[in-house]
Chains A and B, each alone.
Chain A
């Protein structure tokens, strides 16, 4: 079980800095939500942390620099659920989840019975036990997202990176998916770093929130400290009112100024 330590992470595309010295710590077993306006660099940060793109600065997984790990090693510790997963035409849910076993299969080898067993149990854990032989492309949005999560689970990594995992799901399915992620986190001590659009939802699940703006982290702390009307208006240009739920979680409500 390991956490993530990012220090001074810098990423530039065509000479423009997208990330400009990001410092972020995620303790082992913690759930941290990355929030920020469109184009703030949330996806880029997740990709840098997963080792998918070259960056300046350092990212440690536990105490090992991600740059010193092979792709295979990295994929055994970090599972990634992208915002828009590519679903190959006609692939069945079981075959798709089996792709999660790739880091454990020799270059020219095939899956063993054990891999099939792990994939089936991942499907079962995500309430998809009946879906194994269905085509992923024909599942409903909620089912599909659970199958994608099952692939990440079959990867048996202790860090899970989620890029807006609930976009395009209705509110019931958003809650279902996030409850499942939270359950897995506690069961297997998984560290979760997730980019979110929906601030209220993020606040309900994350231990901490990090607000990314202009390529740096401008606020970092428990949801109640980061989600204030003042912080949000300063960095996202949003007009919002922050209220409290009966449980004390912040609720972010957009406000329309009267002309």
Chain B
């Protein structure tokens, strides 16, 4: 039993990968055009290096799988993985079970930054992700600063996050209204749901997502050390400020990047890490790696629900996650409050 396998054992990994695989397959198979499941799988396998299988799909069907469904599933998986692991990371750094990229105002900050860049003449690309990142950093800084007033309790950080999110959203709306000529572009960006996604978006977001996830995962043991509080972490030889800064920047970078392609999707960062916590215990060494896998699976399934419940119309995916997440948030809040007063 070494330090590694105690948290991410083969059994747990197999379970979670199985869930993800199931979600991906479901995401590929379900859609307005019904396709033969075996052929779809064969089509994907055919594209793997060194494998050649005749899927028997027509060119049109292959295009549906390859250009419409797969990029959407892949993008959903990336967005879900990043939002979940970022949520878990914020929870560890702020030692607050309610932290989430959406509730902290990080997503709204990214939205304002991107809007400013677009109305300033930047098209979708170039400086937009950078501006989104700057806006997101400003939001998390403001939420943390405001939330520390009068002691750092769980709810004051979240109240601060709600205020920051409201402010940034208002500012963003104002900027949009003043610049009606670019409003279409801004809306496309902000509401850029997974539905319009192609491989271009995947390529755009992937580098940021990888950096963010890798940096957060590298700090998983240190987040466990931080869970004994700043003072004690210091006497154990860890610089809490350095860990906090690095992890917050990584989580914020990832959030800003995925908001850029998916729009505002809330509560994923609460639902997934807490479910993992219930399943595998409270160590960040299991929460964070499994939040990546579980978050990917969760968002693929949420997207599946978003495009099927009112089919042929689509419900924004943020509506699905909020519908599930808000009650979940209530449960987490109750437990957190009970724990504090116990």
Contact = CB atoms under 8 A, between A and B. Distances in A.
Q: Do A and B bind each other?
A: yes
Q: Which of A87, A100, A102 has the most CB of B within 10 A?
A: A102
B282 A89 contact: yes
Contacts of A178: none
Nearest to B97: A89
Interface in B222-246: 222, 224-225, 227-229, 231-232, 234-239
Contact of A112 (B3, B237, B282): B3
B237 A110 contact: no
B234 A105 contact: no
Interface residues of A, number: 38
A252 interface: no
The main secondary structure of chain B at its interface with chain A is: loop
A85 interface: yes
Interface string B263-285: 00000000000000100011101
Contacts of A259: none
B218 interface: yes
Contacts of A99: 224-225, 228, 236
Nearest to B228: A86
A95 interface: yes
Interface in B311-342: 339
Interface in B1-50: 1-4
A71 B229 contact: no
B88 to A, nearest CB: 14
Contacts of A52: 231, 234-235
Of B229, B231, B235, B282, the most chain A CB neighbours within 10 A belong to B235
B13 to A, nearest CB: 16
B238 A111 contact: no
A78 interface: yes
Size band of the interface chain B makes with A = 20 to 34
Nearest to A105: B221
A115 B3 contact: yes
A102 B232 contact: no
B239 A88 contact: no
Contacts of B2: 110-113, 116
Nearest to A111: B3
Contacts of A155: 236
A103 B282 contact: no
A125 interface: no
A76 B231 contact: no
A72 B231 CA distance: 14
B239 A71 contact: yes
A184 interface: no
Contacts of B282: 88-91
B3 A71 contact: no
A108 interface: yes
A102 B219 CA distance: 13
B218 A108 contact: yes
A118 to B, nearest CB: 12
A39 to B, nearest CB: 19
A115 B234 CA distance: 20
Given A108-B218, A110-B3, A80 B235 contact: yes
A21 B274 CA distance: 49
A121 to B, nearest CB: 15
B283 A103 contact: no
A240 interface: no
Nearest to A110: B3
Contacts of A88: 224, 227-228, 282
Contacts of A109: 221
A105 B283 CA distance: 17
A90 B280 CA distance: 11
Interface in A57-111: 70-76, 78-80, 82, 85-91, 95, 98-100, 102-103, 105, 107-111
A111 B3 CA distance: 5
15 contacts: A70-B237, A73-B237, A82-B232, A88-B227, A89-B339, A90-B277, A90-B282, A91-B283, A98-B3, A99-B228, A102-B237, A102-B238, A105-B221, A108-B218, A111-B2
The 9 closest A-B pairs by CB, nearest first: A75-B237, A111-B3, A110-B3, A88-B227, A90-B282, A103-B237, A72-B237, A102-B236, A86-B229
